[in-house]
Amino acid sequence: MEKNKVKTDSRLVAKSRAKFAILNCPPLGLDYHLEHCSFRLYSAEATKVELLLFPKVIAASQAEYLARATNSSQYQSFLEQPTGANFAKLIAKLEPYPMAEPQAPEIHLLKELEAGYFCLDLPGEHFSRPYLYRLSFPQGESKLTIDPYAKLTFLNGRYGVVGSAEDMDLPCPNLIPFEREKSSILELNVRDFSIRPNAKFKFPGTFLALTEEGLTNSSGEKIGLDHIRELGVSLLQLLPIFQSATLDELGDVSFNSQFNWGYDPLNYFAVQGLFSSQPKDPFCRILELKFLSHFLASRGLGLSMDVVYNHVYDLSQHSLELTNPGLCFRYTEDGMPHNGSFCGNETKSENEIFRRYFLDSLLYWQKNFELAAFRFDLMGLHDVDSMNLIADELKSRDPEIKLYGEGWIMGNHPEGVLPANETEASSLPAYAFFNDSFRNLGRALLSEPEGILEADDEEYNARIWHLYNSLIGGQHVKSFVSASQNLCYLECHDNLTLTDLIQIKNAEIEDRELSERLSLALFLVCFAQGLPFFHLGQEFARSKQQIDNSYNASDEINALDWESLTKFKRISEKLAEFLKFRNSRLSYDEFNFQEINHRYKLLIADPKILAYELQNAGPDGAENLLFVINFQASELQVELPTNYEEVLDTAMASSAVNTLRPYAAKVYRQVALKNCLKERFK
């Protein structure tokens, strides 16, 4: 992109090596207190840093501002019934934040305490004051920027705001803490979830919509959070919720007014205002996201955040480039930005300045919003050392936190820097990787008109064998060191939904057959060794009108159609059944490859059938389970001895115990332990 064509002076890069290690420097960013504020910034090359501090817009201190809510009658109602609706009434008592452009700043000089570390301790109470930094560089150049560590922002992220996001909280009732169970991930976009008008959410397109309960579609089917809880997933992954560059917090937020997934980062510490019930206010978004996290935990759900640290929207105007020009992004030898992200630039995670920023940002999100997981967009652009440092720090606070990302082979890493992609999985044991081999094979098998790929038998058998190996942890397919690194999925926000793909390749397909294929897809993901990942709406035939990259399409394309749940309710019931069986009968996360290979036995892998056995399953290890999958358009007959009984079926209609419908799978339990032989199938 033209706006990313920024040249850097190689002398700056060389000189910066003499600076002290930023990883060990004191805290960065604003530190707010009632009697004083500390403004702290790191710039390796600045000769002078000035604070532009604008007049207060709220007369109260932060504590007094929050007390307006806690001293109100609405607070007692909230304590008695801590719902999203009552929380909205509570924060409506807060003083509105004016939207006027700030004028007439005071100018204060920061002192360089150590090489590159600038600080100003300013007496007085400064809550709600907008601020910027002005930096002077060698050769007389001057740059104006928002604080890279700004947690409170306004006017679409152009100004920082004085206050403590860490202490920006309203005392909540003692909600039940989130108890970790076997993890399964459900991906959603905050706006998609509730913006469609016929769904009748009170807070469409916002965090608070995720707390609404008791909603149904026109046919009486549970929608929203109640639907999610019925599925039985444990983690909700939100598409990017930090402040992005192309969403207008000051503009129209109604249905079809504006849309973007949020993979256009602007401020990495700030919450996206468009997802707040009061999008123009820099404080309410913090309060609402914190409440959402607490509320979901009380309902047995953890929050996972999709984070995009691999590129920024506009390199030339980003605060990282303005404060440390030429250091936080990778450049070609002639000084032009590398473009491994295909978005105009790529960050330089091996640089200590960016590495410190990367880590500080994640720790802030984890600590202040109690996040249970992170999904790293284009993780292969980062480096192994940074990702391991991040894992160590995050797990020191929460040993059970889930970390996973896109380990695609990409980027322009300098010599000696290991890329954090799937080929280096053995060096990144704390991370799970999206298994694209599983995705590609599964989507091909489930979308072909006859369920058989156009390939000769040898090639097809090899593909089925690869699918089986992905199902048992990704071994022989990826460089994983254990099944815990295997994240299996068949649909996400990217690319065509599986429904659209199937319908494109099967124009006359009937709803029954579509449902059968979608149910089988959910089964494959659910019973793969590793971490199962689902895209919300996948379980009721979500369509995006055959658009394969809807990142900036309209709400009409992206918004969930909860009315579809009526027609395809049986698929979602199947997913709930699969997850319940998985969580109560199988121990996935504990399996290493040696144990997997000892307990799994492949029986058949041909162009029509995949059959395998899992020995010593069940809560007491006393069961053998037999999995049989039919990928063809006709029924499959299975010969079973009398000591096997059916315990699970993906099909929409029942069939005889020894019969599999087209595009269906069954699980059988061996009542008395006996070996399972290939000759049982014909």
Q: What would the DSSP string read from start to end of 284-309?
A: HHHHHHHHHHHHHHHTT-EEEEEE--
421 contacts 380 by C-beta, under 8 angstroms: yes
* pLDDT for 9: 41
Angle (deg, nearest 10), helices 498-505 and 511-526:
130
What is the 3 state secondary structure string of 109-135?
ECEEEECCEEEEEEECCCCCCEEEEEE
Q: Which residues are CB-neighbours of 255 under 8 A, at least 6 positions away?
A: 195, 196, 197, 204, 555, 559
Please, are residues 51 and 110 in contact by the beta-carbon 8 Å criterion? yes
Q: What is the pLDDT of residue 584?
A: 82
Q: How confident is the model at residue 1 (pLDDT cuts 50, 70, 90)?
A: very low
Average predicted confidence (pLDDT) for the chain? 91
Percent of the residues in the chain that have a pLDDT greater than 70, as a whole number: 92
Integer Cα distance of 455 and 448 in angstroms: 12
Q: Point out which residues pair with 496 in neighbouring strands.
A: none
Whole-number CA gyration radius for the chain: 27
Angle made by CA atoms 61, 64, 68, in degrees to the nearest 5: 140
3-class secondary-structure state, position 537: coil
Tens-place pLDDT, residues 328-369: 999 999 999 999 999 999 999 999 999 999 999 999 999 999
Q: State mean pLDDT over 455-464.
A: 67
Q: Report, in this order, helix, strand and coil percent for the chain, each rounded to 5.
A: 30, 20, 45
What's this model's pTM, rounded to 2 decimal places? 0.94
CA–CA gap between residue 299 and residue 301 (Å, rounded): 6
Contact 52, 132 (CB under 8 A): yes
Tell me if residue 571 falls in helix, strand or coil: helix
Residue 423 is classified by DSSP as G
Query: Which of 304, 300, 264, 324 minimizes the C-alpha distance to 42?
Result: 324
- Going across the sheet that includes 29-32, the strands are 29-32, 36-42, 117-123, 111-114
**How far apart are the C-alpha atoms of 122 and 146, rounded to whole Å?**
18
Half-sphere exposure of 444 toward its Cβ, with a 13 Å CA cutoff?
Answer: 16
Q: Report d(CA 346, CA 412) in Å as an integer.
A: 8
Quick one: pLDDT at residue 104? 96
pLDDT in tens, 135-165: 999 988 999 999 999 999 999 999 999 999 9
Structure tokens at 450: 């006859």
pLDDT in tens, 88-128: 999 999 998 988 999 999 999 999 998 899 999 999 999 99
**What is the three-class DSSP state of 210?**
helix
Please report the pLDDT score of residue 12 as a whole number.
38
Q: CA–CA separation, 87 vs 279, rounded Å? A: 16
521, pLDDT greater than 50: yes
Q: Read off the DSSP letter of residue 453.
A: -
Say what the pLDDT of residue 99 is.
87
Of the candidates 338, 495, 276, 517, the one whose C-alpha atom is nearest the C-alpha of residue 406 is 495
Q: Comparing C-alpha atoms, which of 220, 216, 26, 200 is closest to residue 115?
A: 26
The strand pair at 265-271 and 302-307 is best described as: unpaired
Contact (CB, 8 A) for 375 and 310: no
pLDDT of residue 673: 52
Specify whether the CB–CB gap between 630 and 665 falls below 8 A: yes
Backbone angles phi, psi at 419, to 5 degrees: -75, 145
Query: What mean pLDDT do residues 215-232 have?
Result: 98
Question: Residue 485 carries which DSSP code?
Answer: G
Query: Per-residue pLDDT for 23 more than 50?
Result: yes
- 219: alpha, beta or left? (left if phi > 0; alpha if psi -120 to 50): alpha
Q: Is the pLDDT of residue 171 over 90?
A: no
pLDDT of residue 641: 75
392 by DSSP, 3-state: which?
helix
Both tokens of residue 396?
A: 């020191």
Q: How far apart are the first and last CA of the chain?
A: 58
**Sign of torsion, CA 573 579 582 585?**
negative
Rounded to whole angstroms, how far apart are CA atoms 562 and 193? 9
Please report which helix (H) or strand (E) contains residue 192, including its range.
Answer: helix 190-194
Q: How high is the pLDDT of residue 80? A: 92
68 dihedral zone (left: phi>0; alpha: psi -120 to 50; beta): alpha
User: In the chain, pLDDT over 90 holds for what percent of residues?
Assistant: 83
Q: Is the pLDDT of residue 508 over 60?
A: yes
- What 646-652 contacts at long range (C-beta under 8 Å, 24+ apart), as own/partner pairs, is 647/581, 648/577, 648/578, 648/581, 650/516, 650/519, 650/520, 650/522, 650/523, 650/574, 651/516, 651/519, 652/512, 652/515, 652/516, 652/519, 652/570
* Mean pLDDT of the 378-385 span: 98
pLDDT at 461: 66
- The whole-angstrom distance between residue 118's C-alpha and the CA centroid of its chain comes to 34
Residue among 182, 205, 181 nearest 194 (CA): 205
Q: Is 83 left (phi over 0), alpha (psi -120 to 50) or beta?
A: beta
Chain segment 181-208, per-residue pLDDT in tens? 688 999 999 999 999 999 999 999 999 9
Backbone phi and psi for residue 106, each to the nearest 5 degrees, phi listed first: -80, 150
- State how beta strands 142-145 and 153-154 pair: unpaired
Whole-number pLDDT of residue 18: 37
pLDDT at 677: 44
* pLDDT interval class at 10 (50, 70, 90): very low
- Angle, helices 73-80 vs 62-70, to 10°: value is 70
Rounded to 5°, the CA angle 383-236-167 comes to 80
List the one residue out of 163, 152, 135 whose CA is nearest residue 320: 135
pLDDT digits (tens, 9 = 90+) for 237-290: 999 999 999 999 999 999 999 999 999 999 999 999 999 999 999 999 999 999
* Element spanning 645, H or E: strand 644-649
DSSP-based three-state secondary structure for 682: coil
Q: 214: exposed, middle or buried (C-beta count within 10 Å: 0-12, 13-18, 19+)?
A: exposed
Beta bridge partners of 178: none
CB of 13 within 8 A of CB of 44?
no
| Beta strands 111-114; 117-123: pairing state | antiparallel
